[in-house]
């Protein structure tokens, strides 16, 4: 079962035309290659401001403050979101949730090695395009 974050490429390839041909058809050696890659997952780091906001939100949440109270506290202190807006409770929740998801992606996807699968080789008669 493939992880939904894993990017998988499947490519069918006609490798070589054989010398055998018959009524407009030629025989080709065909196979599939499947490559799993985690190189497409962004490695962009948080800005210093985003990291500081996350750390402060986590600290306040760990002390027992709710999302609304944290948003109110950040707004009172003049701390803005990454886009320069005032905080609301759903944004506070999203910061905590997305940080956890990001850490899981780094641990379980980006650092994982994936095998290359080569499908079965077969000879196929394919119509010539002449």
- Same domain membership, residue 59 and residue 20: no
Burial class of residue 125 (count of CB atoms within 10 Å of its CB; 0-12, 13-18, 19+): middle
pLDDT at 88: 95
- Same domain membership, residue 81 and residue 29: no
Q: Which of 97, 128, 98 is nearest to 14 (CA)?
A: 128
- Same domain membership, residue 93 and residue 64: yes
- Same domain membership, residue 80 and residue 104: yes
CA dist 75 and 52 (Å) reads 15
- Is residue 43 included in any domain, yes or no? no
Q: Determine the structural domain holding residue 53 and report its residue range.
A: 48-110
- Same domain membership, residue 78 and residue 56: yes
Give pLDDT tens digits for 13-59.
Answer: 555 555 656 677 777 777 777 777 666 555 667 788 888 999 999 99
More confident residue, 83 or 67: 67
Q: In this model, does residue 95 exceed pLDDT 70?
A: yes
- Is residue 80 included in any domain, yes or no? yes
CA dist 11 and 30 (Å) reads 11
Q: Are the C-beta atoms of residues 112 and 20 closer than 8 Å to each other? A: no
Query: How many domains does the structure of the chain reveal?
Result: 2
More confident residue, 114 or 95: 95
Q: How many CB atoms within 10 Å of residue 33?
A: 13
The arithmetic mean of pLDDT across residues 68-74, rounded, is 95
């Amino acid at each position: 079962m493939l992880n939904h974050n894993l990017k998988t490429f499947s490519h069918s390839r006609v490798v070589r035309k054989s010398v055998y041909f018959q009524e407009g058809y030629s025989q080709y050696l065909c196979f599939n290659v499947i490559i799993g890659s985690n190189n497409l997952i962004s490695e962009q780091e948080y800005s210093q401001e985003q990291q500081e906001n996350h750390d402060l939100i986590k600290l306040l949440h760990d002390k027992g403050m709710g999302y609304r109270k944290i948003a109110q506290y950040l707004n009172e202190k003049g701390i803005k979101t990454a886009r320069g807006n005032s905080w609301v409770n759903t944004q506070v929740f999203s910061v905590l949730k997305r940080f956890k998801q990001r850490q899981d992606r780094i641990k379980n996807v980006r650092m994982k090695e994936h095998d290359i699968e080569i499908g079965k080789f077969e000879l196929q008669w394919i119509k010539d395009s002449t």
